[in-house]
Structure 1
């Protein structure tokens, strides 16, 4: 029955796309985020929903959608360059079979990220893309938040809609994504038009944000705690009453501490010292191995190159024996351990060229969103409306979400995560929209000044 519901929902969305082809773009964003084909048990698992939605999105735009206002930006070209380079490293990978498995979904994420901005021609479409991401991930978040409240959390034990670590369903990845969408939720409560921000929308948004805060607790992922700290700092730039905000944030943290599970607080204490935690110790060793590997293979080893690593190290634990603390060291040998960092993932798999393109892509995103903020801050000086505009708010939210994701990427291998590239696609769409509308407004102002100057000259002559 559940499978029938998921299949029916998917095909109803396909039918809606016959009237509005942009629905197919949103459908692919939903499928790639939620992975409904992984949620069922019967016939839905045999359907290539992602591929169907992917082909429908491209076909709909190519044959039926208007191209007016579509622009191709430098960052979209950079995404395609990264795609081509990743394809080359895949063909020359150290582990061709495993590399091909990852390439099956990476190429779709990159192609869709380069394609998405071409469809985001209006404010309504940009908002619809943001809303689709928020509600799609919100489906996972609400499920995980409810189970956390009723005691179903724990590191590697939180049961979500999909039982395997697929896409966003891995604990650290989900924790990072949930914190990253909080600024987008706040933006929708101020500037949303699809669901106008009345008390019902604001109540739902508040509940969703609360669920977002519960996910790092439910997954017991240290990355989530770090991302929450980054979000708290970033929000200082956009809140009006900073001292009141800091006081309330501190009070909330103190009030929430007694309700946190002991297993969660014990795991968070390992952030300060990695020697006592095997997982953290392994990451440091993998990063060291990756740097040595990159010196020998500067062009990268292709996807899953980490399968060739092997190293031995000592872990340090402190135990209490007879009222005294005893330090014990244990020798551990590991091999084929994942990078646990997007930066080292790019370095090991794509080498220095791939890492440079990836960092340039991310850095340009932060800079472009800051440029939009700066432009509307200047406008605020003139008419006081800059920071109240939807463009300023969305640029701020996208920048904050990206920075949070980049910080989370320090500890999780999510360099090619589709969610991140959807954010990049929306950034490119907003940047393109801003350049087009800004030029139109600028031309109108110039024309108006010319008309005023001609009228003044004719009056003087008369």
Structure 2
């Protein structure tokens, strides 16, 4: 029955895409996030649905979309350079060729789609449609995870949601990071949604989805999720006008929620401060140390999955007893082939210094560009139809920053959903650049308007 539902939904998208080819792009987003082929038992799991929708998305744009005033942003060029470099390390430097090719098989598609996506985002409606599909596709996983957590289910490494495969977005720490990162975008839709007007029904769904997203770190017991949630709280505090009221509300919510948190979650979170007693955390630090030594000998990187060559000896320390009588137990744990557990060390170990610098530039420029937009599209003198810009720039920047913090502890340097988010940022930025050029408008602090100058009306086709 599930196979029929999944196949029927994709079939409907394909049919509608024949009339509106932009829907092929939305279909690819859904497939890349939800992975319906992994949920299917027999109808979809034997078909290359991702590659098919990917090809239709690009073909639809080539045949039907406008190409005038196509803008290529510097970040797209940086992503192209990074993609070429990853290809070179995969085919010429990879120490584990077969594993590297397996990762390359999905990385190149995700990066090309992220570079291609901005070319299609020529209207606000399209920008919002892509973000809406990203949120709703992720909600298919998050809602199930939230329900399972609310019913008492939890456990790190065993929190299966719809699939029995702890990889991709279904991996615990990855899901916890992404779920928290997308909360600012959900908040944006709760107020500024135009596809679904922001009424009480939309607000109720958005707030319920945010609650489910906050439950994900509890259900997965992922420490990264707790760090991301705390960092997001700071970002939201930065942008609120009533800071003391916000702090009081956050403190009250924490006091109310604390008795409801499972003891297993509390026990795992305590290991953040006692990492030497936690084998997972100690091994992670050992892997980071090994990576620094490895890149010293291989400054160009070792290709995808180079971590498989590590050999580790980890010392853990456990203290038992209380008061003046305490026993300290130290033991050495041997391990090998442990993953990086950090996007930064993932880039360093796999792509060397060149890859890490390119990756940091892509993300750093994105954060700075969103900061520029949120600062220059605020105030009472913004032209009509542009009031949504600063809130969306803020939401995208917050989501991006939460990802950058979460990726300190999770190896998600090429996570497809985050690459899509970067693509949306680029498309959003270039769309606004086109509007400024066509309307001759600059932010108020960059021009002196003539008395009586009328505010600019939305462009044709920009009714949303």
* TM-score band w.r.t. shorter chain: over 0.9
Q: Secondary structure at the match of 2:67?
A: coil
Which has the larger helix fraction? 1
Tell me the equivalent position of 1:399: 397
8 Å Cα contact 1:70-1:119 kept in structure 2: no
Q: Secondary structure at the match of 1:328?
A: strand
How far residue 320 of structure 1 moved from its aligned partner, in angstroms, is 3.7
Question: What TM-score, normalized to structure 1?
Answer: 0.93
The 5-angstrom pairing of residues 347-358 of structure 1 reads 347-358=348-359
The 5-angstrom pairing of residues 195-206 of structure 1 reads 195-206=196-207
Q: Residues 246 and 322 (structure 1 numbering): CA distance in 2 closer, same or farther, change over 3 Å?
A: closer
How far residue 35 of structure 1 moved from its aligned partner, in angstroms, is 0.3
Q: Secondary structure at the match of 1:280?
A: helix
RMSD: 2.2
Distance in 2 between residues matched to 1:53 and 1:239, nearest whole Å: 41
The 5-angstrom pairing of residues 147-186 of structure 1 reads 147-186=148-187
**Would you say 1:67 and 2:67 are equivalent positions?**
yes
8 Å Cα contact 2:377-2:386 kept in structure 1: no
Distance in 2 between residues matched to 1:227 and 1:393, nearest whole Å: 20
Distance in 2 between residues matched to 1:83 and 1:244, nearest whole Å: 46
Tell me the equivalent position of 1:439: 437
How far residue 16 of structure 1 moved from its aligned partner, in angstroms, is 0.6
Q: Secondary structure at the match of 1:317?
A: strand
Give per-residue Cα distances to partners, 1:83-105, cap 9 Å, x unaligned. Answer: 00000000121111110000000
**Would you say 1:31 and 2:34 are equivalent positions?**
no
How far residue 339 of structure 1 moved from its aligned partner, in angstroms, is 0.3
Distance in 1 between residues matched to 2:44 and 2:357, nearest whole Å: 40
Q: Secondary structure at the match of 2:440?
A: helix
How far residue 443 of structure 1 moved from its aligned partner, in angstroms, is 6.2
Q: Residues 38 and 323 (structure 1 numbering): CA distance in 2 closer, same or farther, change over 3 Å?
A: farther
Tell me the equivalent position of 2:239: 238
**Would you say 1:309 and 2:310 are equivalent positions?**
yes
8 Å Cα contact 2:78-2:358 kept in structure 1: yes
8 Å Cα contact 1:156-1:171 kept in structure 2: yes
8 Å Cα contact 2:179-2:213 kept in structure 1: yes
Tell me the equivalent position of 2:459: none
How far residue 237 of structure 1 moved from its aligned partner, in angstroms, is 2.2
How far residue 386 of structure 1 moved from its aligned partner, in angstroms, is 9.8
The 5-angstrom pairing of residues 136-285 of structure 1 reads 136-285=137-286
Q: Residues 353 and 386 (structure 1 numbering): CA distance in 2 closer, same or farther, change over 3 Å?
A: farther
Give per-residue Cα distances to partners, 1:229-264, cap 9 Å, x unaligned. Answer: 110000012212111011101110111011100000
How far residue 434 of structure 1 moved from its aligned partner, in angstroms, is 1.2
Question: What TM-score, normalized to structure 2?
Answer: 0.93
Aligned residue pair count:
448
Give per-residue Cα distances to partners, 1:4-57, cap 9 Å, x unaligned. Answer: 111111111011111111000000001000000001211211011111111110
8 Å Cα contact 1:168-1:174 kept in structure 2: yes
Distance in 1 between residues matched to 2:382 and 2:195, nearest whole Å: 26
Tell me the equivalent position of 1:86: 86
Distance in 2 between residues matched to 1:128 and 1:26, nearest whole Å: 8
Give per-residue Cα distances to partners, 1:97-151, cap 9 Å, x unaligned. Answer: 1100000000011000000000000000000011000000011000000011111
Distance in 2 between residues matched to 1:313 and 1:370, nearest whole Å: 42
Q: Residues 414 and 443 (structure 1 numbering): CA distance in 2 closer, same or farther, change over 3 Å?
A: closer
Q: Secondary structure at the match of 1:14?
A: helix
Distance in 1 between residues matched to 2:185 and 2:211, nearest whole Å: 14
8 Å Cα contact 2:436-2:442 kept in structure 1: no
The 5-angstrom pairing of residues 256-405 of structure 1 reads 256-320=257-321, 324-377=325-378, 380=379, 383=381, 389-405=387-403
Distance in 2 between residues matched to 1:110 and 1:341, nearest whole Å: 19
Q: Indicate the larger mover: 34-43 or 152-161.
A: 152-161
How far residue 166 of structure 1 moved from its aligned partner, in angstroms, is 2.6
8 Å Cα contact 1:314-1:330 kept in structure 2: yes
Tell me the equivalent position of 2:40: 40
8 Å Cα contact 1:148-1:158 kept in structure 2: no
Tell me the equivalent position of 1:2: 2
Q: Residues 450 and 193 (structure 1 numbering): CA distance in 2 closer, same or farther, change over 3 Å?
A: closer
Tell me the equivalent position of 1:417: 415
